Structure 1
Amino acid sequence: MIRLKKILKISSFILLPLIIIWSMTFGWGWFVPYSLQPSYHEFKEMCKLNELPNDEHKYNKILGYFGLNLDTLDWENIKKNSTLLTQGYLEYNSQNDRYMYRYENKSDPRIRKVFFLFFNDSIKLSNLYKIDFEVFWNDKRDYIHTKVTSYDTVIEENFRTCGYFSGYLKGIK
């Protein structure tokens, strides 16, 4: 019995510092389930916006996360920074010109938000036919990997998207 206590004491002396270093390096994300992280619930609410029908209510709700709405958009900036879609884009249509505008907000370190506006023919509100909303959530479960060419060890942040939690990916995980 005394021998067992001695082994436990020695092993705890070795293991405890390793556990502390590991938890400091990788953060608390590995120990806390997604459902207990407040940013996860905010992320899930944002993902539900993509399921709404394409109408003015959805557009204003999405733009609200950026402090905007359809009435306050800077149309001159949108016209200047929009991209004409070519065959390489999924939204390309050979029948008419389509334009895309991308806006990203990185102010929140846990949730990165991006929206895309798609226009038919010309860039104006009446030609807006779709808005896509992409959300990237940092789940604080960092991982270590090695770069192939330089063999440098790198700690990377792990980002999740709405597709990771949707039904069609659940069978793949």
Structure 2
Amino acid sequence: MKKIFYGFLILMGLGIFYYTPYSFYLEPSFWQFRKMCKLNELPNTEEKYNKILRYFDTDLESLDWEELNGRALKLTKGFNLDYIEGRLEYRVKVATIQKRRYDISVDLYTNTNNKGFSKEAITHIETYGSWKTRRYFLERKYMTDFPFQAEWTERDISCTSIKKFN
């Protein structure tokens, strides 16, 4: 009887860790990822740009603007979801961090590319990324399949979901 009780107690303890929100001590990578995503909510100033770029070991002064102008991508209305006429018309990916539990990248935006990307021409900066929760759930493989087939998929948390729920 004791073995059953202790087994049940251990099972309850493991279940609590599955449903507990992300602890600072158990999931430090989540809190680092969350802090990087929260920087998107700051107003668009040079201070915000440098705070974000500091995570990627760079700043506005040390960016290679000629190289960034060569990689600039023109956004198209109706095709790119982040296109805003007169504000977000060109985008360039500056840097990416890939860790074991998360990956995150930063993009710079400008509204005109005739003078190119420069420190003065930036209109917006955004971090994008996802954090692997290591929490798996059963998901139906296809909606039309018969007999029912399921597969285990891992849940990811993105910067947009952090913004939505906090």
Q: Residue in 2 aligned with 1:161?
A: 158
Counterpart of 1:156 in structure 2: which amino acid? T
Distance, in Å, in 1 between the alignment partners of 2:21 and 2:87 is 47
Distance, in Å, in 1 between the alignment partners of 2:19 and 2:165 is 23
**Aligned-partner SS, 2:83:** coil
State the Cα deviation string for residues 62-81 of structure 1 (Å, max 9, x = none).
11111221122222332222
State the Cα deviation string for residues 36-66 of structure 1 (Å, max 9, x = none).
4212221222122112111111111111111
- Asked if 2 retains the 8 angstrom alpha-carbon contact of 1:75 and 1:124, the reply is yes
Counterpart of 2:121 in structure 1: which amino acid? N
Q: Residue in 2 aligned with 1:92?
A: 84
- Rg bigger for which structure? 1
Residues 146, 55 of structure 1: alpha-carbon distance in 2 compared, 3 angstrom cutoff = same
Distance, in Å, in 2 between the alignment partners of 1:47 and 1:159 is 14
What is the TM-score when the length of structure 1 is the normalising length?
Answer: 0.68
- Asked if 2 retains the 8 angstrom alpha-carbon contact of 1:142 and 1:157, the reply is yes
Residues 78, 92 of structure 1: alpha-carbon distance in 2 compared, 3 angstrom cutoff = same
Distance, in Å, in 2 between the alignment partners of 1:51 and 1:78 is 24
Structure 1 residue 142 corresponds to structure 2 residue 136: yes
Query: What fraction of aligned residue pairs are identical, expressed as a percent?
Result: 29
Distance, in Å, in 1 between the alignment partners of 2:33 and 2:87 is 35
Alignment of 1:6-17 (within 5 A): none
After TM superposition, give the deviation of residue 109 of structure 1 in Å.
1.9
Structure 2 residue runs without a partner (length 5+): none
Distance, in Å, in 2 between the alignment partners of 1:134 and 1:116 is 8
Q: Residue in 1 aligned with 2:99?
A: 108
Which structure has the highest strand share of the two? 2
- Asked if 2 retains the 8 angstrom alpha-carbon contact of 1:29 and 1:139, the reply is no
What value does the CA root-mean-square deviation take over the aligned residues?
3.4
- Following superposition, which runs of at least 4 residues in structure 1 exceed 3 angstroms of deviation? 149-155
After TM superposition, give the deviation of residue 32 of structure 1 in Å.
5.0
What is the TM-score when the length of structure 2 is the normalising length?
Answer: 0.70
Q: Decide which of 29, 38, 45 is 2:28's aligned counterpart.
A: 38
Distance, in Å, in 1 between the alignment partners of 2:160 and 2:77 is 24
Residues 30, 64 of structure 1: alpha-carbon distance in 2 compared, 3 angstrom cutoff = same
Distance, in Å, in 2 between the alignment partners of 1:165 and 1:97 is 22
Distance, in Å, in 1 between the alignment partners of 2:99 and 2:42 is 24
What is the aligned residue count? 152
Q: Decide which of 44, 58, 71 is 2:48's aligned counterpart.
A: 58
